[in-house]
Structure 1
Amino acid sequence: MWLKVEGFKDLIHSWWQGIEGRGSASYRLATKMKEIKQKLKVWNREVFRRLEYNKVVALQLVDHWDLVESEKRLSEEETTSKKEAKESYAKIKINGVWLSEEKEVREGVANAYKYLLIENSDWKADIERLQLEQISQQEAENLEHPFFEDEIHSALMEMNGDKVSGPDGFTMAFWQSYWVLLKRRSWICLRSSMSKVSSSRVSTIHFWRILDASLIANEVIDAWQKREEKGLICKLDIEKAYDSLNWQFFMKVMKKMGFGSSGWVGCRVAYPQPSFQVLVNGVPAGFFPSSKGLRQGDPLSPYLFVMGMEVLSTLIRRVVEGGFLPGCRIRGSGRQSVHISHLLFANDAIVFYEARKEHLTHLSWILFWFEVASGLRINLDKSEIIPVGEVEEMEEMAAELGCRVGSMPSVYLGLPLGPPNKGTSVWDGVEERVRRRLALWKTPIYFQRRETHSHKEHDG
């Protein structure tokens, strides 16, 4: 909203030019941004919003409508005005923070987040003997290439400016709007910081598309059903995925995957130990350091999380190769068969295995080891086991892992999992989402419903 105010750009420019600083490039940039932030707070309070004045006006409006209502019955329009006045006053009362009870609430919320974001001193499993897939030497060398200004500008402009402000308190829209003014100091700061460890960049990780993962999962179910075999599907939910990843664990993962020293040390530059404040009803509360987790909204975080999940994938592969957790073989191209044991897509994990209790025991050991190594936790209350075929003693098997029993058709990555061949109603949710997205397009789109048929019906 500030960016739309006439004269705001000139105001920022004058403030920026008037602030002097000494020291390193990063220190001068931090000093300037800190003073700009303080000036914005004063300007917002005294010029833009005048909260105390607005509070008095809102209170007067509430008193006015209370007086009118005591003398006569309010009309529908007057009742609406009174309701709006009370809502406005309530919001200001929250932002004004002059209630002691609210202070206690803020402190409680801040303490809860502090517990969530600080690493405990519990024992962590070691991954030194675990063999992870490594990047090539050429790929590792490519990560050492320096950043260029046009790369930084291009990445900045591709970000969503409307997202919540970053750790420095400024939104991406602010940096995008004033890049010409701020770029010199920011570029010098970034270049001098990264030169200490040699520059690094994130390599491209090739992902399957969501549709591919969903189709593979349904192929496994179809193969079991055609062979009249009994199988189990375990859908795992990772609790607070980004907030729980252990930093020491992740640094070990990067080293074992072949990233050069400047690569994983560079991540320490990008992910220094930050301090947090929690906004409760618009009011900051608490101030504490974080010692674990990835930053929400950071474009680097999804790549780092996927690398951490590679440890879980490697653990499952080792158990499968040892014959302790058989997956499912499906026919691939030609006469070759493909062995599918699990699918990982970001923080969505799904595991396939035969309907035997000992396999669930082995899976529970894997999940426990992964939890104590990475800091991530499987939320068993939201995880479920789905039987394929007539599987006996399902409740006992679910109790072995500690999760609930699900059923088909289910949902995986937003698409139906195990839908009946002639069933079309399970696709209604997908069709509705497509309709909503098409409605956002400016050009007229004519969408005609097409019935879903099984392959047998299609082939006659």
Structure 2
Amino acid sequence: MGLVSSEAEGLEIPFTEEEVFATLSDLVKDKAPRLDGFTMAFWLFCWDVMKVEIMSFFREFHEMGRFVKSLNATFLVLVPKKGGAEDLKDFKPISLVGSLYNLLAKVLANSIKKVMGKVISKPQNAFVEGRQILDAALIANEVVDSRLKSNQGGVLCKLDIEKAYDHVNWKVRGKEGEGILISRVLFADDTLVFCEESHDQLTYLSWLLMWFEACSGLRVYLEKSELIPMGRVHDIEDLVLELGCKVGGLPSCYLGLPLGAPFKSEVVWDGVEERFRKRLAMWKRQYISKGGRLTLIRSTLSSMSIYFMSLFYLRGKVRSRLEKIQRDFLWGGRALVQKPHLVRWNLVCLERKKGGLGVRNLALMNKALLSKWNWCFASESEALWKQVISKKYGIEEGGWCTRAVSGGMVSSFGKQLERSGCV
């Protein structure tokens, strides 16, 4: 992978007024005033008056390659991730930067975004246009599924890598692009390495991790990392000693989704149901009107399951449980006793113009999200997940094989698409 000369030169051309204005129009207008006291709405409203000064700033940055140091002065707030936060890692940093600095950063990001897919390897699915984080989750589950069905032992190394931007050694590539090239997939928080049941492979992996730490400045927390056996692995305790990590098991969690669990399993939804109940436990302590409860259901509860529904088929029993939680909260509020439901739930899920309350129908939403995979399979020619699925199961007219067998395997993911009516 690499850039052709025209693409590289395109990154160095001067900023245009149309480019800057288009970026400014796309930014959120009504956020809190920036460090300089202005919102993005102000700059957009006063564009005709301020555009000369703004473009002068962009020309100066293009010619000099730097700006006044005070321009990126930032207010930093540490927001606790959980109650009783004590350590610095228990806080999430929120920064408030100046308007012009934010605009400049967005313009530069839009320029780089056009070529990111050519300079970042295919296994890196996040933050690259045309790729999505769900691709990695699907690929990981398919690889685990292949290993389990092959009746051959193997191990999965789930690495915990320190998330610290300032710890990255940006000189790792050396001068003029020479030196060591490290796959950007390793810069993720959840990193998976698939290995054979071999002491030698794990020894080599431990050496690679040491070199990775020395080159990148990042730290691999082996104490928090896991070695997960796939299939029959006889000496897992001895293999763990090679890396110094702990023993894990399947199903596990990867990118917030179940890994190694059957696609048709109802257990994968236990985490979603638990999140529903935890959120309701907090709301039930408050006096909320029926209109307020409806708003919370539409804005929060209906959205909490979307990530899971994008990859897993929502079975009828699970859907009924999730819908019951929403129904009881809508009609009962904070009451601990069962209250009558005044309207059937299928009517509540209708659009408002059709007499409903506009609550999402989970079954239809699940079908729409899973159908997206068929559309992506037809429209994405170079996607890594498509190559994995095609190689594993084969291709038939209209999509990948769901019933036909390739190498003794049947697509579990494809079967759940059939079950949901997506194919």
Q: TM-score, normalised by structure 2?
A: 0.48
Q: With the length of structure 1 as denominator, give the TM-score of the two structures.
A: 0.45
Structure showing greater relative contact order (alpha-carbon pairs closer than 8 Å, 6 or more residues apart): 1
